[in-house]
Amino acid sequence: MSLTLIFFLGLFFAFIGVIPPGLLNMTAAKISLKEGHVRGIVFSIGVCIVVFAQTYVAAIFARYLSKHPEVVDILRSVALIIFLLITVYFLFIAKGASKQQIQPKVKSKHSRFFQGMLMSVINVFPIPYQAYITTTLASVAWLNFEQTSIISYVAGAGMGTFVMLYVYIFFFDKIKSKTFTSQKNMNYIIGGITGVISILTLVKVIKDW
């Protein structure tokens, strides 16, 4: 498959992964709303720098998994436990958390850039997500693990993440009044998504027994 198509595959799947309201996209939107679009974009660039590295690590990890299928079964069981815990947290614990939030006073563009990097480092979801996606793409021969293919996919993933953050930045005014953007409903959405993933993972684990 051509490097251009691999790039757009990376862009598409990263774009899809950032669609649900979450810490990074909502923070980018709020920064843009309060401090201007430029600050929001600077924050997003910081996020995407880390996403490049995370996706590369995920691709290398996926290459290892493709050669050691027995490890995949172990990781799938571990992932099931993690997703179940996340589901329980967002559906039953997080909804009762305090609504008071301390907003850090960050004034410079450089600070927003490094804030984006820091928050992206904390958000490790792209690594298992991209490891799963790249393994799946490789299994259907849409992606190989040659260095040029990996770099093309990583570049696409970084761009896809930035595009979705950009969408949140410039359209937050239109969606901020919707009920699904409240913290409580965001918790339900995230818990629901991880719950579905848990069920699918559980079915796969049972079938492999």
SS3 annotation, 174-202: HHCCCHHHCHHHHHHHHHHHHHHHHHHHH
What is the distance of C-alpha 149 from the center of its chain?
Answer: 21
Give the 3-state secondary structure of residue 79. helix
**In this structure, which amino acid lies at residue 30?**
K
Cβ atoms of 152 and 3 closer than 8 Å: yes
Q: Which helix (H) or strand (E) holds 88?
A: helix 69-88
Question: Which residue did the predictor score with more confidence, 113 or 140?
Answer: 113
Cβ atoms of 158 and 54 closer than 8 Å: no
What is the distance of C-alpha 14 from the center of its chain?
Answer: 7
User: pLDDT grade, residue 45 (50/70/90)?
Assistant: very high
Instruction: Name the pTM for this structure.
Output: 0.69
Nearest CA-CA partner of 136 in 19, 4, 50, 13: 13
pLDDT at 29 over 80: yes
pLDDT in tens, 96-121: 444 444 444 545 666 889 998 998 88
For residues 117-144, give the mean pLDDT: 84
Give the domain extent around 53: 3-208
Predicted confidence at residue 57, as pLDDT, reads 93
Domains held by the chain: number: 1
